[in-house]
Amino acid sequence: GSLQWKWGMPEIAAIYFPVTIIGVILFRLNPSEACAEFGKGMAGTIAPTMVIGFSRAVSVLLTEGNITDTIINAVTSLLEGKSPVITLLIIYAFVTLFNFFVSSGSGKAVMMMPILSPLGQILGINQQVMVLTYQLGDGLTNYLWPAGAAVACALCGMDFGKWFRFAIKSIGTMMVAAYILIIVANAINYGPF
């Protein structure tokens, strides 16, 4: 629908209604069971939705208050003239550390992409390389930082400290490899042709 008929979010969201009705019929649920299952499904989405909403509110405040422009200007003056290798290392390290405080990838993207995108343009770094830097900085530490790993450890009955000591070596190695991939991506001007 998005590609063929140029549907946006309202049209895509509207698809869920008939699909839900078809699912209820196929699984032979009565209305009470269907509502209970719907409630269970919605309960799992409340926390991520709240994080995305708060992140969007922060993004709007930063943009409308012209704070985003101030941040971009300050970071640009700090990084301008530096080697892309150093610049990408600083951005990668920042995203990785920021992931400790904001575990939601989509919430973090709402806050950071309005800053990272123009920053990349000003510093002459390809947009795809900036996105790759964000993704690798965001993704690997989900298995290490407490917000993601502690829940998984609790579900498995494992002590988080024990997991951290075990995982730090392998995830640390992957983080170094990811940074090398970022540098290679920048060197080959990774992106659309």
Burial of 174 (0-12, 13-18, 19+ CB in 10 A): middle
Find the range with the poorest average confidence among 98-102, 126-130, 161-165. 98-102
Answer whether residue 137 shows pLDDT above 60. Answer: yes
Which amino acid is present at 37? Answer: E
pLDDT mean over 138-146: 82
**Do 127 and 192 contact (CB within 8 A), yes or no?**
no
- The mean per-residue pLDDT over the stretch 86-106 comes to 83
pTM, 2 dp: 0.64
List, for residues 164-192, the tens digit of each pLDDT value. Answer: 898 899 989 999 999 999 999 988 888 77
Tokens (6 digits) for 147: 């917000």
What average pLDDT does this structure show over 47-76? Answer: 75
Longest CA–CA span in the chain (Å) reads 65
Q: What percentage of the chain reaches a pLDDT higher than 70?
A: 95
Average pLDDT over residues 46-70: 74
CA–CA separation, 158 and 161 (whole Å): 9
Q: What is the per-residue pLDDT across 108-121, written as a single tens digit (0 to 9) for each?
A: 787 788 888 888 88
Q: What is the pLDDT of residue 193?
A: 57
Helix (H, G, I), strand (E, B) or coil at 6: coil
pLDDT of residue 179: 93
Structure token pair of residue 171: 């995830």
In 3-state terms, what secondary structure has residue 30?
Answer: coil
Interatomic CA distance for residues 118 and 181, integer angstroms: 22
Question: Left, alpha or beta for 124 (phi > 0: left; psi -120 to 50: alpha)?
Answer: left
In the predicted model, is pLDDT for residue 39 greater than 90?
Answer: no
